[in-house]
Amino acid sequence: MAFWNKKSDATENPDAPQKSSGIFGGIRAALQKTSQALNTDIRDLWKSQGELVDDEFLKRLFAVLIKSDMGGDMARQIRDRIGKDFRARKVDFSEMLSIISEEIRETLEQGGTAIHRAQSGPTVILVVGVNGSGKTTSIAKLAYKFTQEGQRVLLGAGDTFRAAAVEQLTIWSQRIGCDIVTAGQGADPGVVAYQAAQKARDEQYDVCIIDTAGRLQTQSNLMQELDKIRRVIGKNVPEAPHEVLLVLDATAGQNAISQARGFSDAAGCTGIVLAKIDGSAKGGVIVPIRQQFDLPVKLVGLGEQMSDLAVFEPEAFANALLAEPS
Ligand SMILES: Nc1nc2c(ncn2[C@@H]2O[C@H](COP(=O)(O)OP(=O)(O)OP(=O)(O)O)[C@@H](O)[C@H]2O)c(=O)[nH]1
Ligand SMILES: [Mg+2]
């Protein structure tokens, strides 16, 4: 899958690294807690040779699905599909898993998963979310990935609020070997964003990724600040930011839904990074988020290292969600 939303890096850059074959393995391992809960519950519905699909079975199936974090709409959708396709017949476990997986995959595929890229000039990505969701780490992972692909990356340390934030991103930039624009603590984050976008444009960087301070979706003054940051970026680079990525912590479960609700319009989000799926049994929460908001998941965080980032692949994700615990 192309990382960028354009034809293919491979055709333009034959030296671009190929997609890692380990992505499914990585997602599967990271989603183990989620899949363990779900697969075991679904498996428990089975007696032996397959189950007769009747009202009673559909009720039990619905109860299992609703217990997962997939949400009521998806639980109903799957129950109705199994009812329609199999009523009064026997359905076996694997058949059912593949239907569930298909329904989830189709939902998650909507909107595409590639990162939007500027037609010309630098691609500017603004990263937002609540405190501690994984923004700065995700920026480091993303910067690492772009750098590995041969892109010139500039970071903007737009979290001027938290004392150690600038230092944290600076350390990442040194590890990755990319440049960074910083200002002192307490500086206007809009100024940092403006300067970063300007430098990216003037010095022809390929990608500029701008960090922001964590904030709650209910803090309207801070949400307005994000709007201002977006606007100043656009003054230097037309049509920027090309992506506003909302970083959600997968362990937040249903809270992630209120975060998506609060941030999506107020911050003009264009996609989600689902961080920390390695530590969560609630990875399924991405399904209702996709259904309720027009926000495709673009990337998933699988751990704390800079290589622990995967391009979101709906099929691999749906399969991993339902994988048998090992
Ligand atoms: N296991 C795991 N930990 C993660 C992942 N992403 C981030 N973390 C950890 O989560 C913690 C918070 O990450 P940060 O990137 O600093 O979060 P932030 O959103 O920038 O936080 P603030 O700037 O304080 O709002 C750190 O300890 C990270 O190592 C992930 O995908 N998996
Ligand atoms: Mg941070």
174 C-alpha to ligand 1 centroid (Å) = 18
Is residue 23's pLDDT more than 60?
A: no
pLDDT tens per residue across span 178-230:
999 999 889 999 999 999 999 999 999 999 999 999 999 999 999 999 999 99
40 within domain boundaries:
yes
**210 and 267 fall within a common domain:** yes
Fill in the amino acid letter for 182. Answer: T
Please state, in angstroms and rounded to a whole number, the distance separating the CA atoms of residues 147 and 302: 19
Give the max Cα distance, the chain.
68
Please state, in angstroms and rounded to a whole number, the distance separating the CA atoms of residues 224 and 212: 13
1 within domain boundaries:
no
pLDDT band at 326 (very low <50, low <70, confident <90, very high): low
Pocket test for ligand 1, best of 162, 304, 305, 309 (most atoms within 8 A of CB): 304
Last residue of a domain, one of 88, 109, 130: 109
DSSP readout, 72-117? HHHHHHHHHHHHHHHTTSEE-HHHHHHHHHHHHHHHHHTT--SBP-
Q: What is the mean pLDDT of residues 8-37?
A: 58
Is residue 162's pLDDT more than 50?
A: yes
**296 and 170 fall within a common domain:** yes
**194 and 285 fall within a common domain:** yes
Q: Identify the H or E element spanning 220.
A: helix 220-236
Say yes or no: CB of residue 161 within 6 Å of ligand 1.
no
Please state, in angstroms and rounded to a whole number, the distance separating the CA atoms of residues 315 and 299: 14
Say yes or no: CB of residue 116 within 6 Å of ligand 1.
no
Residue 95 belongs to domain with CATH number: 1.20.120.140
Please state, in angstroms and rounded to a whole number, the distance separating the CA atoms of residues 2 and 9: 7
pTM of the model as a whole: 0.88
**185 and 70 fall within a common domain:** no
207 within domain boundaries:
yes
**201 and 277 fall within a common domain:** yes
Task: Give the rounded distance of the alpha carbon of 305 from its chain centre.
Answer: 16
pLDDT band at 49 (very low <50, low <70, confident <90, very high): low
Percent of the chain with pLDDT over 70: 91
122 within domain boundaries:
yes
Which range, of 35-39, 165-169, 236-240, averages the lowest pLDDT? 35-39
Last residue of a domain, one of 61, 89, 109: 109
Count of positions (residues) in the chain: 326
Phi, psi dihedrals of residue 260, rounded to the nearest 5°: -60, -40
Residue 153 belongs to domain with CATH number: 3.40.50.300
Please state, in angstroms and rounded to a whole number, the distance separating the CA atoms of residues 72 and 177: 45
pLDDT band at 4 (very low <50, low <70, confident <90, very high): low
Is residue 14's pLDDT more than 70?
A: no
Domain ranges, residue 155: 115-313
pLDDT of 3: 52
pLDDT tens per residue across span 102-122:
999 999 998 888 999 999 999
Work out how many domains the chain is built from and give that number: 2
pLDDT of 17: 36
Say yes or no: CB of residue 214 within 6 Å of ligand 1.
yes
Last residue of a domain, one of 109, 137, 157: 109
Please state, in angstroms and rounded to a whole number, the distance separating the CA atoms of residues 192 and 210: 9
**79 and 152 fall within a common domain:** no
**218 and 122 fall within a common domain:** yes
Say yes or no: CB of residue 165 within 6 Å of ligand 1.
yes
